Amino acid sequence: MAQTNAAASEPTQHPTPDLSHLKHVDYRNIYEPAEDTFLFLDTLQKEREYINNLDPVICLEIGSGSGCVSVFLASLLAPYHALFLTTDINPAANRATLQTATANRIAIDALRADLLPALRSRIDALLFNPPYVPTPSAEVGSHSIVAAWAGGIDGREVIDRLLPLVSDALSERGVFYMVVVNENRPEELREVMNGFAFDMEVVMGKRAGNERLKILRLSRML
C-alpha cells in the first residue's frame, strides 16, 4: 500500500522518443540530443498541464534537429491532437525529424526554413533550442550541423534575430519556450521581451558540465 502511494506521488517519466533509426553517421550532420535536449523534455513534461490548458491547435519548433523535442511534445499531449510543424535550415535535420516522427507514429510536417515560415495562422506553442554557444560571428549562418550551436557574440546572434518576430507569430494565448545559457544574459532577454509586452519566467535550470542551462517561458502580459 505504502509502495503504491509512493509510486502514485512520483511523476511518471514520459518515455523519450525512439531514436534508434539515427546512427553515429547521422550525428555528423545533425545535433545529437544531449543534456540541453533532455532538460527541454523534462520542462515540457512539467509544463504539460499549462500547455494543454492553452488548447493549442498549432505547435511549431524552430531548429528541430533530430525531431526529438517535437515528437516528445506530440506524444506528451496525446490523445489531444495539434498540428505539429518544424523548421530547420539544415536539410539533414528536416529528414531526421520526419524519420523520427514516422518511427514514433507521430504526424509532423518539416519545413526547410530560416527560423519561422510565413504562416497565415498564428502559433499557439513555439519551441526553440537555439544555437546558444558563444562563437565568432563568422561561424553563424551555416546550413550544416554548425548551425545547431554557433550563436555568435554572447551566443545571442540567432536569438536576437528571432525575438522581434515572436509577438506577431504567436496567438493571443500563445506560449514560447526557449533554452538559454547564462552567457546569453537571460535578464537582458527578459528586458527585450518586456519591451514587446511579454512576461518571462525561468521554468527550469540545470548545470550541465560548464553550461548553466535555463528554460524560459514567454507569454503575453495579462
Give the nearer residue to other proteins in terms of CB position, either 7 or 118. 118
Q: How far apart are CA 111 and CA 13, in angstroms?
A: 30
Among 22, 41, 82, 215, which residue interacts with other proteins (rule: CB under 8 A)? 82
Q: How far is the CB of 156 from other proteins (least distance, A)?
A: 20
164 part of the interface to other proteins, by CB under 8 A:
no
Binding to other proteins (CB under 8 A) within 87-106 occurs at: 87, 89, 91, 94-95, 98
On whether the CB atoms of residues 48 and 77 are closer than 8 A, the answer is yes
Closest CA relative to residue 44, chosen from 77, 67, 17: 77
The packing angle between helices 91-103 and 68-77, to 10°, is 30
Q: How far apart are CA 163 and CA 200, in angstroms?
A: 12
Give the nearer residue to other proteins in terms of CB position, either 81 or 207. 81
Residue whose C-alpha cell is 514516422: 102
Among 6, 49, 120, 210, which residue interacts with other proteins (rule: CB under 8 A)? 120
Give the nearer residue to other proteins in terms of CB position, either 109 or 188. 109
Sorted by sequence, the CB contacts under 8 Å of residue 190 that are 6+ apart come out as 200
Among 26, 32, 42, 114, which residue interacts with other proteins (rule: CB under 8 A)? 114
Amino acid at 212: R
Q: What b-and-e string marks burial along 179-189, b requiring 16 or more CB atoms within 10 Å of the CB?
A: bbbebbebeeb
Among 54, 76, 103, 111, which residue interacts with other proteins (rule: CB under 8 A)? 111
Among 76, 113, 146, 203, which residue interacts with other proteins (rule: CB under 8 A)? 113
**Residues in contact with other proteins by the rule CB under 8 A:** 55, 57-58, 79, 81-83, 85, 87, 89, 91, 94-95, 98, 107, 109-114, 117-121
